[in-house]
Amino acid sequence: MAPGDGEEQGGPRPAAVQSVDRAFAVLEALAAAAKPLGVGELVGLTGLPQGTVHRLLQGLQHRGYVRRDASRKYSLGTAAMRLADAAQRSLARSARPFLDQLVALSGETANLAVLEGDDVVYVAQVASPHTLRMFAEVGRHVPPHSTAVGKVLLAALPRERALAVVRRTGLAPRTAATITDLDAFAAELDLVARQGWAADEEEQEVGVRCVAVPVGAARDAVAALSLSGPADRFAGGGDPDLVARMQEVGAAFAR
């Protein structure tokens, strides 16, 4: 059923709400895609009639939310990118007290990350008070497979979509501990989804351990919170009490 074609609370949806639903269905399909999409592809992904998709694209293109390339395919435009940047800044501001809580709990560096396209992006950080501490540059993009935050964010996606991401980005061995087998990585995502947290046991950097939890439910995370520290000082996922407290902080942030 196409977005907006059903009924809600026993009656038809107002036309204005239906139009917004449909526009967002198109934008979300473009956001999830790793490449520009044609009208026919968007029809298949959204379930909307071709004429409706075409009209929506015209309106969104006029406002700068989508752009059309020479092959007549569509991708997100600069207006959508500005909204995404504003949303990330707002999320980072909201995250500060929760990151402070994590640092107070552990003494280690706390991060907030989101999935942007196929990459993990660090959007906020509160540094450890220790002289020897971990640092991830805010705004840095990294492949998701070797990070705890990446595992949490991928575990929230439908499994085939998550695996499609790592097929595109690859499972390059950052260290000897990096998971580089697709089946093993799929099993890791299943574990993360079940337990509600992920660990990076020196998989991204030798000597660095990280643990991450979802902001919200494990299968519906919009962001991930993490703690990282030197492996000889920070137990990470080996400290179940800390993980439980982190999950409480992640749930509180989502409310």
Per the structure block, which two tokens stand in for 212? 């991450």
Q: How confident is the model at residue 8 (pLDDT cuts 50, 70, 90)?
A: very low
Total of domains in the chain: 2
pTM metric for this prediction: 0.76
Structural domain includes residue 2: no
Asked whether residue 17 falls in the same domain as residue 140, the answer is no
- Cβ count near 25 (within 10 Å): 21
> Are 119 and 192 part of one and the same domain?
yes
CATH number for the domain harbouring residue 240: 3.30.450.40
Mean pLDDT on 148-167: 95
Task: Please indicate, yes or no, whether residues 150 and 240 belong to a single structural domain of this protein.
Answer: yes
The average confidence (pLDDT) of the chain is 91
What does the pLDDT read at residue 31? 85
Which one of 76, 102, 128 terminates a domain?
A: 76
Residue 17, pLDDT score = 81
123 domain residue, yes or no: yes
| 76, 96, 120 - which closes a domain | 76
Strand partners, 52: none
Query: Residues 241-252: pLDDT tens digits?
Result: 999 999 999 999
Pick from 76, 99, 119: which residue ends a domain?
76
Nearest to 251 by CA among 207, 210, 222, 217: 217
Confidence at 162, pLDDT banded by 50, 70, 90: very high
Which domain does 197 fall in, by range?
84-254
On the question of pLDDT at 52 being above 80, the answer is yes
Find the distance separating the first CA and the last CA of the chain, reported in whole Å.
30
Q: How far is CA 219 from CA 30, 179, 189, 215, in A?
A: 21, 21, 10, 10
Residue 232 resides in a domain: yes
All residues at 6 or more sequence positions from 17 whose CB lies less than 8 Å from its CB, including other chains: 4
